[in-house]
């Protein structure tokens, strides 16, 4: 356990008289979550005029507040020397390009070899943050850009940006079917009523909104650009399947393999051999949690998706020539 060199200090404003100490403390130190501030009040690390009080106790106004920020181990996974593709890095955040196949969090069946293990090797101090600073996730077989907090201040700020929908998250997806126009999938999502591993569109689910537009159209497939307005589990995968344009290779929502009539042998091989959802987090943009400046990072489609798109493009070209 590591303490800060000296407590943070502030003065309760006069207009806050009569309000709860925990609510006032959250306004005085907005970089820290309410739950963590409440814990520090209870542990005696947040003092009001030098005295330990209860979170619900009222303030009078004018009191001195002293806050001792305590960094405790929150993540107990072991560091592992797993290579990371770092797109941006400073003392507050990492932005990485996660490869397909890398699990984000340790869990049942994946106790090690995860992104958390890799991050702890890169920066051992991340063990003081929940989930080693990870504030959003990508599915194991989805590739692309993720932001990771390196400090408690950054962690709190990034979670707030995600909650208030201020983070721009743009994906690329190859879907089955030739779309004629983009659109918006606005369908609530929650756990499947019978299969708890899957998610599903449900009337009683949580709000979920995905905007999508055509990036490139092929004979029987489409490369889509998808933008998340919300961030539900499996959101793009569920939404695309719901609008009858499932993502190529999706083992959970994609349904049986569909081969276009007259597909070239190369396309048949490419579609049969694509064993993950063809989904890539292309661009992430957020406000830097300390400087307030915009940070925008992009990662190109990984080689397997680029190869798939190249085969789809060639198949469309040959079909167009044959139709002349």
Length of the chain as a residue count: 324
Residues belonging to the active site: 139
The structure tokens listed for 44 are: 């005696």
CA 219, CA 235: separation in Å to the nearest integer? 26
Residue 125: how many other CB atoms lie within 10 Å: 13
Mean pLDDT of the 237-250 span: 97
Asked if residue 182 lies in contact with residue 224, where contact means CB atoms within 8 angstroms, the answer is yes
- Please report the sign of the dihedral spanned by the C-alpha atoms of residue 195, residue 196, residue 201, residue 205: positive
Tokens of 288: 């830097």
Confidence at 72, pLDDT banded by 50, 70, 90: low
Considering Cα of 227, then 233, then 237, then 242, what sign does the dihedral take? negative
pLDDT in tens, 78-95: 899 999 999 999 999 999
Residue 245 near residue 253, CB atoms below 8 Å: no
pLDDT band at 1 (very low <50, low <70, confident <90, very high): very low
Average pLDDT estimate for 98-117: 90
pLDDT at 75 over 90: no
- pLDDT at position 281 over 80: yes
pLDDT score of 77 = 84
The region of weakest confidence among 150-159, 287-296, 302-311 is 150-159
C-alpha span between 276 and 267 (Å, rounded): 16
Question: How much helix, strand and coil, in percent to the nearest 5, is found in the chain?
Answer: 25, 30, 45
In which band, very low, low, confident or very high, does the pLDDT at 64 lie, cut at 50, 70 and 90? Answer: very high
**Model's pTM, two decimal places?**
0.83
Please say if the pLDDT value at position 235 is more than 50.
yes
Task: Assess whether pLDDT exceeds 80 at residue 74.
Answer: no
Q: What is the C-alpha to C-alpha distance for residues 171 and 60, in angstroms, rounded to an integer?
A: 50
- For residues 222 and 212, the answer to whether their CB atoms sit within 8 Å is no
Q: Whole-number mean pLDDT of the chain?
A: 92
Nearest CA to 139 out of 248, 44, 234 is that of 234
Give the tokens for residue 233: 């589990």
- Give the pLDDT of residue 314: 93
Could you give the CA distance from residue 192 to residue 108 in angstroms, rounded to a whole number?
20
% of the chain surpassing 70 pLDDT? 97
Phi-psi category of 62—alpha, beta or left, where left has phi over 0 and alpha has psi -120 to 50? left
Q: 4: burial class by Cβ within 10 Å (0-12, 13-18, 19+)?
A: exposed
How many CA atoms lie less than 13 Å away from 206 in the CB half-sphere? Answer: 11
At 322 the pLDDT is: 78
- pLDDT band, residue 2 (cuts 50/70/90): very low
Q: What is the mean pLDDT of residues 50-76?
A: 86
| Domains by residue range for the chain, with CATH | 2-71 (3.10.290.10), 86-322 (3.30.2350.10)
């Amino acid at each position: 356990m590591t303490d800060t060199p000296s407590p943070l200090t502030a003065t309760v404003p006069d207009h806050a008289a009569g309000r709860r100490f925990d609510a006032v403390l959250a306004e005085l130190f907005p970089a820290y979550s309410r739950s963590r501030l409440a814990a520090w009040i209870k542990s005696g690390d947040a003092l009001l005029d030098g005295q330990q009080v209860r979170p619900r106790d009222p303030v009078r106004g004018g009191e001195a507040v002293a806050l001792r920020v305590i960094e405790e181990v929150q993540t107990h996974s072991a560091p592992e020397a797993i290579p990371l593709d770092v797109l941006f890095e400073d003392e507050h955040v990492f932005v990485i390009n996660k490869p397909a196949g890398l699990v984000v969090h340790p869990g049942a069946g994946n106790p090690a070899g995860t992104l958390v293990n890799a991050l702890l090797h890169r920066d051992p101090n991340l063990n003081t943050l929940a989930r080693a600073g990870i504030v959003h996730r990508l599915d194991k077989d989805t590739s692309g850009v993720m932001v990771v907090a390196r400090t408690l201040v950054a962690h709190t700020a990034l979670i707030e940006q995600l909650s208030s929908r201020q983070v721009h998250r743009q994906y690329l997806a190859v879907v089955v079917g030739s779309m004629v126009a983009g659109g918006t999938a606005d369908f609530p999502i929650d756990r499947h009523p019978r299969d708890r591993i899957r998610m599903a569109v449900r009337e009683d689910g949580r709000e979920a909104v995905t905007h999508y537009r055509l990036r490139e159209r092929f004979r029987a497939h489409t490369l889509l650009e998808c933008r998340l307005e919300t961030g539900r589990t499996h959101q793009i995968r569920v939404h695309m399947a719901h609008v009858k344009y499932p993502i190529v290779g999706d083992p959970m929502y994609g349904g049986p393999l569909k081969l276009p009539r007259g597909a070239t042998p190369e396309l048949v091989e490419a579609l049969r051999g694509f064993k993950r959802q063809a989904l890539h987090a292309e661009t992430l943009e957020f406000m830097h949690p300390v400087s307030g400046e915009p940070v925008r990072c992009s990662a190109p489609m990984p080689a397997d998706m680029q190869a798939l798109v190249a085969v789809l493009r060639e198949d469309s070209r040959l079909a167009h020539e044959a139709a002349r």
